[in-house]
């Protein structure tokens, strides 16, 4: 079974791997159901979805309508103004067939102009706070992609006491000195304030470039179980970090398998050897 850890100050003992429902973007309901059942059987008790993940909220909501909600349910809004974000939250609840989600996240909040709008008066943050006051959500988080996101999340935590952050983290990201510095600063703040830290893009092999897209991930993922083991174990080797599963249901079983066998963090030398052997490249370059 996959280990559990307190999810920040929420009171939830969360599985260290979260079911990333971006993998449900547009596929048969039966495939989404099978992935959910596999995750539950592996000890996953935290589902993460977003309003902008295609039909993912509909698929997850259909399962919830038939089986009941999972123990921790998170979604996201990509709207930047209060009215639109509040409406987005209400629509997410309807699609998910629930009266409340545990965590609402301001989705991919990195662009400076969008950040100012969402975090300012009349912005999406106001909608999230309103939703929390009305009991529609319990906690509020912020997510983002790219090389500037760790620094941007640090700035966000100076503005508001978020319950969680979500951002890319892998050995490839660690190799970038500026990102490493920004990430460690953010991590220190989160540990001091008991803010949950969720990671994404742990299985990046290379950008797709001109290659045929053979997976639903928006990067070319690691495929071999041994390589996935190293990538997953390297992230889980950081105490308290959570790992969002990859956005492809065919990769999910390998991620769950790797996480269930986690014992220790691979050395940087071992990780560098894999990077060199596979000629891995970071998804984010600027």
Q: In this structure, what CATH number is given to the domain that contains residue 272?
A: 3.20.20.100
pLDDT at 151: 97
Is 285 among the domain residues? no
Pairing of strands 242-244, 196-200: parallel
Identify the helix (H) or strand (E) that includes residue 204: strand 204-206
Is 135 among the domain residues? yes
Is 51 among the domain residues? yes
Is 241 among the domain residues? yes
Is 283 among the domain residues? no
The mean pLDDT of 190-203, rounded to a whole number, is: 98
Is 186 among the domain residues? yes
Task: Tally the domains of the chain.
Answer: 1
Residue 10's closest CA among 104, 130, 145, 143? 104
Between CA 255 and CA 233 the distance in angstroms is: 10
**How large a percentage of the chain has pLDDT more than 70?**
100
Q: Is 267 exposed, middle or buried (0-12, 13-18, 19+ CB in 10 A)?
A: exposed
Going 74 to 53 to 132 to 136, the CA torsion angle's sign is negative
Residue 106: domain span? 4-278
pLDDT at 286: 66
Is 284 among the domain residues? no
DSSP state of 251: T
Does residue 136 carry a pLDDT above 70? yes
Q: Tell me the per-residue pLDDT of 33-74, one tens digit each, with 9 for 90 and over.
A: 999 999 999 999 999 999 999 999 999 999 999 999 888 999
172 band by pLDDT with thresholds 50, 70 and 90: very high
Is 48 among the domain residues? yes
Mean pLDDT of the chain: 96
pLDDT at 212: 82
Spatial contact of 255 and 281, defined as CB atoms under 8 Å apart: no
């Amino acid at each position: 079974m996959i280990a559990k850890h307190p999810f920040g100050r929420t009171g939830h003992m969360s599985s260290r791997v979260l079911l990333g429902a971006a993998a449900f973007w547009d596929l048969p309901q039966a495939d989404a159901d099978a992935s959910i059942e596999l995750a539950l059987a592996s000890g996953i008790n935290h589902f993460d979805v977003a309003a902008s993940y295609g039909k993912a909220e509909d698929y997850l909501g259909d399962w919830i309508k038939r089986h009941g909600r999972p123990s921790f349910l998170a979604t996201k809004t990509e709207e930047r103004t209060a009215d639109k974000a509040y409406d987005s939250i209400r629509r997410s609840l309807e699609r998910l067939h629930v009266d409340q989600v545990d965590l609402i996240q301001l989705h991919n909040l990195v662009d400076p102009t969008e950040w100012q709008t969402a975090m300012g008066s009349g912005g999406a943050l106001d909608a999230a706070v309103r939703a929390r006051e009305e009991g529609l959500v319990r906690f509020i988080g912020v997510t983002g992609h790219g090389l500037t996101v760790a620094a941007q999340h640090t700035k966000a935590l100076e503005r508001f006491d978020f319950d969680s952050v979500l951002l890319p983290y892998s050995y490839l990201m660690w190799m970038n000195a500026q990102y490493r510095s920004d990430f460690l600063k953010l991590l220190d703040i989160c540990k001091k304030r008991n803010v949950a830290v969720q990671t994404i893009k742990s299985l990046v092999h290379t950008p797709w470039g001109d290659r045929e897209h053979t997976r639903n991930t928006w990067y070319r993922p690691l495929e071999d179980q041994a390589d996935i083991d190293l990538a997953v174990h390297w992230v889980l080797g950081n105490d308290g970090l959570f790992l969002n599963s990859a956005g492809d249901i065919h990769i999910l079983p390998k991620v769950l398998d790797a996480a269930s066998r986690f014992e220790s963090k691979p050395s940087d030398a071992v990780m560098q050897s894999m990077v060199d052997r596979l000629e891995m490249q970071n998804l984010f370059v600027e």
